[in-house]
Chains A and B, each alone.
Chain A
Amino acid sequence: MNAPWGDLFLFAEDEQRLVAMLARLCNDAKARAAFLVDQNGRLLAASGDSAGLDTTSLASLVAGSIAATEGLARLIGERAFSGLFHEGERSHLYVTVLSEGLILVVSFDRSSSAGLVRFRVRRASDEIGQAFAEIADRVAGAQAELAQITDEDIENLLSI
């Protein structure tokens, strides 16, 4: 696949497809929200209730956490850990690597359980991983809108 080193283009129909899968997962798992994050810490798609949540920071920290955990796994002779639970008093996170470069995060509370979330994630992961692989593998070709960017546009943009 082009990811993780190629540029990634996410079109409106791609996002709708991913969001629909995440919405189904949220519903099936009785989860509060689900997020897809790339290994570079960028949020690709989200579904559910993320109001008041800083999803940009969440994506960056989750990617960092996965990277650090992979380092830990290698220390004990594992290639990676398949999933991570972060258990809080009221809110919990289940984080799993679906495929190279793709991380799924599910946020849930006492309305659900770790077992149910894990079961539903396992069921949904192939479908989501496959959809992402198709998006990442697609050769986007020349992007007319981006190619039209002029040096002047860039200068104006950076009036910081």
Chain B
Amino acid sequence: MSFINYAAREINCKLVYYGPGLGGKTTNLQQIYARIDPKAKGKLISLATKAERTLFFDFLPLDLGTVRGFKTRFHLYTVPGQVFYDASRKLILKGADGVVFVADSQIERMEANLESLENLEENLADQGQSLDAMPHVMQYNKRDLPNVVSMPELQVALNRRNAPWSEACAPKGIGVFETLKAAAKLVLIDLKRKTGG
């Protein structure tokens, strides 16, 4: 759900980064945090284990600028990718206005990608929602590694709804902002549609 605060002239939207464990969701947020104007960002909060695996969530508030007199604030969250943290994923997915699915392009992670995508669809369904109606984008991460699945194969396997997609190498920042921009755009278009535009 979007939260439109007329008193503060703010639009608040929640964007959730979803995907298999070790796929690069946290790295996306770290790169955004490192590269964006300090005035446009809040604190990056990571609730992680000592081994730097996301335990509960990462959180980054961003100001993306002003539209029609409204400050647009996006709250970026990642979910823990590991299979056994499903309760955390469900909680963080609640109230999402948009989803970024961060897929790991490596051949040996294809099964994990499919499992995570299925888990996303199930968790949305539990909340009475569907990926068909949820603004979402695909990010194919780790494209710089040698053992990657081809783009056409990834698209056929993971992007059945033909969502906007981008290739990425998150640790170098490649594709990170393209992904964020595409997702934020879809969320705002959806908000405009819902509010009668």
CB <8 Å contact, A38 and B3: yes
Nearest-neighbour CB distance to chain A for B56, whole angstroms, equals: 6
**Complex alpha-carbon distance, A160 and B64, angstroms:** 8
Chain A contact residues, CB within 8 Å of chain B: 3-12, 14-16, 38-42, 44, 54, 56-57, 60-61, 64, 67-68, 71, 140-149, 151, 153-160
Given known A4-B1, A7-B194, A143-B4, contact A153–B67 (CB-CB < 8 A): yes
Total A-B Cβ pairs within 8 A: 140
**Complex alpha-carbon distance, A153 and B11, angstroms:** 14
8 Å CB contact of B180 from A44, A64, A160? A160
The stretch of B42-50, B100-108, B159-167 that contacts the partner chain? B42-50
CB <8 Å contact, A5 and B128: yes
Q: Which among B40, B59, B66 has the greatest number of chain A C-beta atoms within 10 A?
A: B59
Given known A7-B2, A145-B70, contact A158–B64 (CB-CB < 8 A): yes
8 Å CB contact of A10 from B3, B191, B195? B3
CB <8 Å contact, B75 and A41: yes
Q: Is B151 an interface residue (CB 8 A)?
A: no
8 Å CB contact of B94 from A40, A140, A142? A40
Given known A5-B128, A67-B91, A146-B68, contact A158–B181 (CB-CB < 8 A): yes
10 closest A-B pairs by CB = A142-B196, A147-B197, A40-B95, A15-B7, A146-B195, A143-B195, A67-B91, A12-B7, A157-B65, A147-B196
| Residue interface mask B161-192, A partner, CB < 8 A = 1 | 00000000000000001001100110011011
Taking A8-B4, A157-B188 as known contacts, 18 extra A-B pairs with beta carbons closer than 8 A to each other, sorted by chain A number, are: A4-B1, A5-B1, A8-B2, A10-B3, A15-B8, A40-B14, A44-B5, A61-B59, A67-B91, A145-B68, A148-B197, A149-B197, A154-B185, A154-B189, A158-B64, A158-B181, A158-B184, A160-B180
